[in-house]
Structure 1
Amino acid sequence: MQRLSTAEHAPGMQYDFWHNIVESSFAHCDGIAPNRRSFRAEIEIARCGDSELTSLTSDAVRYLRSERHLRRSDTDAFFVSVMLEGGGYFRQNDRAVHHAPGTVLIYDSARPYEYEYPGAYRTALLRVPRQMMEARMLGVRDLGGTLMSAGRPQAALIQSLIVNLLDTARDGDLPEQFIAPTLDLIAGAFGQETPRTEIAGRNDTLNRIKRFMIENMGNEDLGVADIAQAQNISARSLGRAFAAEGTTPMNWLRDRRLTEAHAMLSEGRARSVTEAAYDCGFRDLSYFGRAFKKAYGKTPRQVCVVRH
């Protein structure tokens, strides 16, 4: 586990040091601090495969991530933030929430946001690559800014899990296989907590179709006609529904297959590249390898984690 603190730097240099940490660990953004000269903050960072856990304490500060920052940064992850002390006010996707102690917030680094901490605070965070969240939830494009209240039992469970993972990392190496079940719990909890009108339920018909496609993604021959017939919808209407999201039914299915294959390989749920490809509906392994490399910049074999 890596530990960094502004106390190691002279006054006048502390905030700049801290902001560099924020941009490297989270995302490029503008930062405004009431007391830049004597800024107190520290962070613990534990990397676990493609995910990262952090424990963070900081003085009052405000962060703004705009379209300008998105253009210069390729950060594409979700952050699950558990507030332990203090609090802040967060805005994303037309949502404005109070991230108070005991609440759990999910935000999306690929969309603009504003985060204001009016006083000192302490939080624990889990950074999750987009593909790992997409493999578990529909509608993740609208997930940022979703808050789970402190009174929910699921919030207490998520907080306990993240805090215990950090304690495990402090004692030694954090086993990578701990992350997948934690994400399963987080996805399940937020799927139940958030009103359907706020996440996947914005279009019940389309999401019912997507669930069917996910359940049948292992069928290589699944095509537009099969999907339309099974869902009692015309092929033309099916195409229009996906066009509203800027894609086509088969492009969406291909991307979803790749997302699931990446998750299976990176989380050790597949014993081989061939197994992941076949389970996700790819019979042509050469095509699978090319599409995977284009999507993720790595070959399936480079991503594959073998469990012993």
Structure 2
Amino acid sequence: MRFDYSTQHVASDQRLEYWHDSVCTHFVSCECRTGATMEGRMHGQTLGAFHAAQYAALHPHSWHRSYQDVQHDPDDGIIMIFIESGSVGLTQSGRASTLHAGDISMYDAARPFVMSNPTSMMLLRMPRRLLLSRLAMAEHMTGSRIPSDIPITGAIGTMLREAITLSGTATEAVRARLSTALLDTLTVVLELVSGVEATDRQSAQHTMLYNKAIHFVDANFDNYDLSVTDIANALNISERTLLRLFAKQGLTPSQHLSHRRLEHSFMLLSERRVSQIAQAAYLSGFNDLSHFCRLFKKHFGHTPSQVLTG
């Protein structure tokens, strides 16, 4: 089934709502935020259980999927994005990436995320089970940048464009084979990035160390005193090596730690697991309440009290 949504013929005061509903219908329920009226077009088609689309928008905006969205509207899809132009920010699971033309990334609809300033990109929504059956660790790669110089990323862009413009007369068998080919090609790219089949031992070593660092932070983020030195010592590596590991993901160890703590505090507040803001802060590893509140508002666009009472 083909779809084509454009704000061109929609009244200006209704464009944001129209754009929001159009995108959420085919991809994932989340909130579109902008300081201006929205102008854009999204068109594409379904390929069996897959949705492929080209997305173009004129005004700065962002998409936010919160823990509340995840609770109220559960979704297990994984969405791949291929950046055509502009600079797009993506944050999920403590990873913050800045994507440029030719780059690829993924976000997981089962977890909160923030995407900022998408201007021109292509999207492919796929069932989680199909991707994970090919590469189980793929769900741990969401929010990461896959740069354009990784082999075969260009092929994904070409195939995705073909999928978006595929003739309406194409049979279901053709559509299924095309979606399978896209999924298989994406899996190869992810394997190259993760080092699963990499021949470069150093690259594989870096991937392994990065994953260990992530797991260590996840297990200890509620420790107020946790530092970059502690993380490096736990992995028996230097702080400089640790910084290089995270730099490849577009952030620092301190930024990842802060994002992880903020996500945990949001969960505590939105799920009413605590009755006071201070509890959420301290249980998430913050020992300065005013600093926590400032970071929380900057990261989520809402104050802790708004999330607790919302």
* Alignment gaps of 5+ in structure 2: 196-203, 213-310
Q: Aligned partners of 1:171 and 1:199: how far apart in 2?
A: 46
- 1:93-108 matches, within 5 Å, as 93-108=93-108
- The alignment partner of 1:63 has SS state of strand
> What amino acid is aligned across from residue 77 of structure 1 in structure 2?
G
Q: Aligned partners of 1:64 and 1:79: how far apart in 2?
A: 14
Structure 2 match to 1:125 = 123
- The alignment partner of 2:134 has SS state of coil
Q: Aligned partners of 2:121 and 2:147: how far apart in 1?
A: 15
Displaced runs of 4 or more, over 4 A? 169-174, 195-203
8 Å contact from structure 1 (residues 142, 199) kept in 2: no
How far did 1:132 drift?
0.6
1:77 partnered with 2:77: yes
> What amino acid is aligned across from residue 105 of structure 2 in structure 1?
L
Structure 1 match to 2:294 = none
Q: Aligned partners of 1:77 and 1:55: how far apart in 2?
A: 18
How far did 1:95 drift?
1.0
8 Å contact from structure 1 (residues 108, 143) kept in 2: no
Q: How many residues of Structure 1 are paired with residues of Structure 2 in the alignment? A: 199
> What amino acid is aligned across from residue 45 of structure 2 in structure 1?
A
Q: Aligned partners of 1:141 and 1:175: how far apart in 2?
A: 25
Structure 1 match to 2:32 = 31
Q: Aligned partners of 2:85 and 2:168: how far apart in 1?
A: 20
8 Å contact from structure 1 (residues 136, 187) kept in 2: yes
Structure 2 match to 1:45 = 44
How far did 1:140 drift?
3.0
> What amino acid is aligned across from residue 156 of structure 2 in structure 1?
I
8 Å contact from structure 1 (residues 31, 61) kept in 2: yes
Q: Aligned partners of 1:198 and 1:58: how far apart in 2?
A: 35
> What amino acid is aligned across from residue 114 of structure 1 in structure 2?
V
Structure 2 match to 1:14 = 15
Q: Aligned partners of 1:58 and 1:139: how far apart in 2?
A: 32
Q: Compare 176-185 and 11-20 and name the one that shifted more.
A: 176-185
8 Å contact from structure 1 (residues 28, 65) kept in 2: yes
Overall identity of the aligned pairs, in %? 17
How far did 1:138 drift?
1.6
Distance 1:200 1:115, change over 3 A: same
Q: Aligned partners of 1:135 and 1:179: how far apart in 2?
A: 15
Q: Aligned partners of 2:75 and 2:179: how far apart in 1?
A: 20
How far did 1:153 drift?
2.7
* Alignment gaps of 5+ in structure 1: 204-308
CA RMSD of superposed structures (Å): 2.2
- The alignment partner of 1:160 has SS state of helix
How far did 1:127 drift?
0.6
Distance 1:44 1:199, change over 3 A: farther
Structure 2 match to 1:186 = 186
- The alignment partner of 1:12 has SS state of helix
Q: Aligned partners of 1:185 and 1:78: how far apart in 2?
A: 15
How far did 1:143 drift?
2.2
Q: Aligned partners of 1:165 and 1:20: how far apart in 2?
A: 23
Distance 1:94 1:31, change over 3 A: same
Q: Aligned partners of 1:201 and 1:138: how far apart in 2?
A: 17
Deviations 1:103-151 (CA, angstroms, capped at 9, x unpaired):
011111111111110xx71111111101111110022331211221022
Structure 2 match to 1:296 = none
Structure 1 match to 2:90 = 90
- 1:134-149 matches, within 5 Å, as 134-149=132-147
Q: Compare 169-178 and 14-23 and name the one that shifted more.
A: 169-178
Q: Aligned partners of 1:45 and 1:95: how far apart in 2?
A: 29
Q: TM-score, normalised by structure 1?
A: 0.60
Deviations 1:43-86 (CA, angstroms, capped at 9, x unpaired):
11300111110111113211111110000112211111111122
- 1:105-120 matches, within 5 Å, as 105-117=105-117
> What amino acid is aligned across from residue 79 of structure 2 in structure 1?
F
How far did 1:87 drift?
2.4
How far did 1:22 drift?
2.1
Q: Aligned partners of 2:65 and 2:26: how far apart in 1?
A: 14
> What amino acid is aligned across from residue 47 of structure 2 in structure 1?
C
Distance 1:149 1:161, change over 3 A: same
Q: Compare 143-152 and 2-11 and name the one that shifted more.
A: 143-152
Q: Aligned partners of 1:166 and 1:182: how far apart in 2?
A: 12
Structure 1 match to 2:162 = 164
Q: Aligned partners of 2:186 and 2:65: how far apart in 1?
A: 25
